Structure 1
Amino acid sequence: GAGPEILDDHVGLADQVENGVRSFGGTTSMMFRTIARNKRSVTLDLRAPEGADAILDLVRQSDVIIENFRPGTLERWNLGPDRLAEVNPDIVLVRISGYGQNGPYKDKTGFGGVAEAFGGLRHITGYPDRESVRAAAPIGDILAGLHGAVAALVMLLARRRDGAHSRPAVADVALYESVFMAVESLVPDYDAYGINRERTAGNLPGVVPSGVYPCRNGSVMIAGNSSRVFGRLMEAVGRPDLANDPTLADGDVRYQREAEIDEAITLWTTQYEAAEAVTELDAAGVPVGEILSAADIVDNEHFRSRSMLQSHKIRIEDDLEEVRMPGVVPQFDGVATPVRWVG
């Protein structure tokens, strides 16, 4: 089938993505086109009666509404959950905000970067001897969107089930809580062991060996932190003594000897080009990958084979340019989902 129809409503005020976010040429940024691919867009002023009426007409024909205003905004426009349910009793509503629909911080302005700080991620990201850093991707926004999508599916499935059971119709997704879910045992480790995690560069505490290792050109990411993979990795880098050390089957012991293990791996990787190191470790059954830039990705056979790079003609300034857009995740039944149009 054609799949769900997604309408992206840019409400009243100029869209934030198009005002100050990564537009290097032309009138529409590639970031907006990427986010809006396969969506239809319309701009409405919901504070005006005509805009509100247009939204309610769309609600009558829709299954899911997703909004990301500050709590109370839709209610002030008389477009809150009760009003939407009057128009379409089957509608499900996903509400995404910085701090959630209730609690003492609910009225605070919230963006993804602030949520990453408040949710605990920023404090543990970066090097211990300097200020924390932000990942070069909108982690908070992406995680909240994924949690919102899951919430919408849960509510739609509940709506379809027969019998007497709860049928939730409104999901409350907070940006900071979506980030907090990603830091896993941050707080349980604090309560159980008194560990207040700090920044540890690119490694996760206790996950050894796992990290970026230098090669003759560039570097590779190696994840040898399970006991069986660790043994194969040590054999591959010429350290059978470490592979056969029974104490190193214990992850806690590997953590205590992290510097020794990392040195052994680095001595081996620096003898190879990155691609050669990947080939050797692939053959040994060790999870490994080159660290790819955009220029590397567009030349990568695996990205191309799975249609994760889909070309479209896009007007930039006065010329049509061939632009490779990200594909769609997931594939269904082994068939890649096409990018039918860009925003």
Structure 2
Amino acid sequence: MVAALSDIRVIEMGTLLAGPFCGQLLGDFGAEVIKLEDPGKGDPMRQWGREKAHGQSLWWPVVARNKKSATCNLRTTAGQELVRKLVAEADVLVENFRPGTLERWGLDYETLQKINPRLILTRVTGYGQTGPYAPRAGFGAIGEAMGGLRYVIGEADRAPARAGISIGDSLAATYAAYGTLAALHARERTGQGQVVDSAIYEAVMAMMESLIPEWAVAGYQRERTGAILPNVAPSNAYPTLDGSDILIAANQDTVFRRLCDVMGRPELAQDPRYATHGARGANQAELDALVGAWTATQPNAELLAALHAAGVPAGGIYTAADILADPHVKERDAVVAVPHPELGELPMQAPAPKLSATPGEIRWAGPALGQHNDEVYGTLLGLSADERAALASDGVI
């Protein structure tokens, strides 16, 4: 089976998450991703993550999976020349440095395009390559705030909350990968590469539904609402007899009637306070209290089984342990075990989405620093052993 992107070679020069996650997505579907890292140090992601096993990051094997690690000091003239040679053999260059960095290194797009007119340069930054904020340092959290996401996360009576994952970086990387694939498709018609400019705040803003026209046209400002969706009920997290919560989304008229039947309260579906979508929204707090009082008397597993049997959308609020134990996750191979030289069989989330003919695959976990130097500089670029040794001696690789 030939992977979907097996004919694409990517040079990744990013660090941390916004650029590297783009490389991970492309690598998941077969692209050859050559990651350039600082000699002796590597990507800081090699040390990131709250929990470490045997002193090693558990994040690095995921974000660097399917990648080849080659060391290269990009701040040296010799290192920059190596990049130019690699660009001649590549389809895509991914980077997430502050705007102007590539230009200072003599690696601006105009220069790179002369070497390889078909090159796609994918750039991920906080604010984009242009505009008054472009020179600013821009981390994911700032992009989440500027894009409107942070303001609407959390409880109404508290300060804005964090999503719990690096969602801004990941969204910018996802849009970067999407833009890269679009640029590769366009190249099939034009024969020319182009620049993909993915800004964190714009990727976040792109996910904000109708937030902007709601304000611009109707003067409505979305606020933090915690677990509920305002005026959509019942749709909330509800307690169970076991002390755990479940989610129930029964806001559609027909689904609400099914929920009422499971509750043993079919009359509620005819009650003027709850009979229509608008009425349920107007009486949301009262209805949530009523549903919650009932769920609190029901064991979690039995309650979910009854709701599923009745066709009422419901589910548990999973932890990592719940994900690993779930039979549906197992049946779909949504989590796969990847061999790791020190950690053994390392479980991690599988590539998504699933393709029927050319599915994604995890070929190996994040590599050791410089593991592929000989392959990249020797086999691909044709540098002799003496040349590679000299570059290593000079701190270039």
Normalised TM-score (structure 1): 0.90
Q: Please name the residue that 2:330 is paired with.
A: 304
Is 1:172 aligned with 2:197? yes
Superposition CA RMSD, Å: 2.3
Residue in 2 that maps onto 1:160: 188
Partner SS state of residue 247, structure 2: strand
Q: Give, in angstroms, the shift of residue 10 of structure 1.
A: 2.9
8 Å contact 1:221–1:291 — kept in the other structure?
yes
2:292 to 266, 270, 275: 266
1:6 to 24, 27, 33: 33
Amino acid at match of 2:169: D
Please list, as runs of the form range in 1=range in 2, the aligned pairs for 1:126-165 lying within 5 A after superposition.
126-161=154-189
- Aligned match for 1:42, one of 54, 70, 87: 70
Post-superposition offset of 1:241: 2.7
Q: Is the 8 A contact 1:26 1:315 kept in 2?
A: no
How far apart, CA to CA, are the structure 1 residues paired with 2:37 and 2:349?
Answer: 22
**Secondary structure of residue in 2 paired with 1:221:** strand
Q: How do 1:71-220 and structure 2 match up within 5 A? A: 71-161=99-189, 169-217=194-242, 218-220=244-246
Using the TM superposition, give the Cα deviation of residue 179 of structure 1 relative to its aligned residue in structure 2, in angstroms: 0.9
Deviations, residues 66-86 of structure 1 (Å, cap 9, x unaligned): 211111111111111111111
* 1:330 aligned residue: 353
SS of corresponding position for 2:84? helix
Rounded to whole Å, the distance in 1 between the matches of 2:33 and 2:90 is: 9
How far is 1:64 from its partner?
1.6
Aligned-partner residue type, residue 325 of structure 1: M
C-alpha contact 2:112 2:119 (8 A) present in aligned 1: yes
Cα shift readout 1:188-226 (whole Å, capped 9, x = no counterpart): 111233222221112232332222111112111122233
Partner of 2:8: none
Higher relative contact order (CA 8 A, sep 6+): 2
TM-aligned CA distance change 1:48 to 1:129, over 3 Å: same
Aligned partners of 2:122, 2:275: CA distance in 1, in Å?
45
Query: SS of 1:135's equivalent?
Result: coil
Does the 8 A contact of 1:237 with 1:264 survive in 2? no
Change (3 A) 1:342 1:89: same
Partner Cα separation in structure 1 for residue 248 and residue 70 of structure 2: 45
- SS of the aligned residue for 1:57 comes to helix
1:293 aligns with 2:319: yes
| Amino acid aligned to 1:141 | D
Q: Is the 8 A contact 2:339 2:365 kept in 1?
A: no
- Could you say which residue in structure 2 is the equivalent of 1:340? 363
Equivalent pairs counted in the alignment come to 337
Mapped partners of 1:235, 1:193: distance in 2: 38
Aligned 8 A contact 1:234 1:240 in 2: yes
- TM-score with structure 2 length normalisation? 0.78
Query: Gaps (5+ residues) in structure 1?
Result: none
Conserved in 2, the CA contact under 8 Å of 1:121 and 1:179? yes
Percent identity over paired residues: 40
Aligned to 2:60: 32
Query: Whole-Å Cα distance in 2 between the matches of residues 334 and 262 of structure 1?
Result: 45
Letter in 2 for 1:203: I
1:275–1:290: 8 Å Cα contact kept in structure 2?
no
1:19, distance to aligned residue in structure 2 (A): 4.0
CA shift, 1:14, in A, is: 4.6
1:269-321 Cα deviation digits (max 9, x unpaired): 212222222211111112211111111111111111111222234355xxx44
* Paired position in structure 1 for 2:44: 16
Gaps of 5+ in 2: 4-29, 367-397
Superposition deviation, residue 29 in structure 1? 0.6
Q: Give the distance between the partners of 1:253 and 1:168, measured in 2 at CA.
A: 54
Which position in structure 1 is the counterpart of 2:250?
224
Shift of 1:134: 0.3
Give 1:25 shift: 3.1
CA distance in 1: counterparts of 2:178 and 2:63, whole angstroms: 18
Matched, 1:257 2:280: no
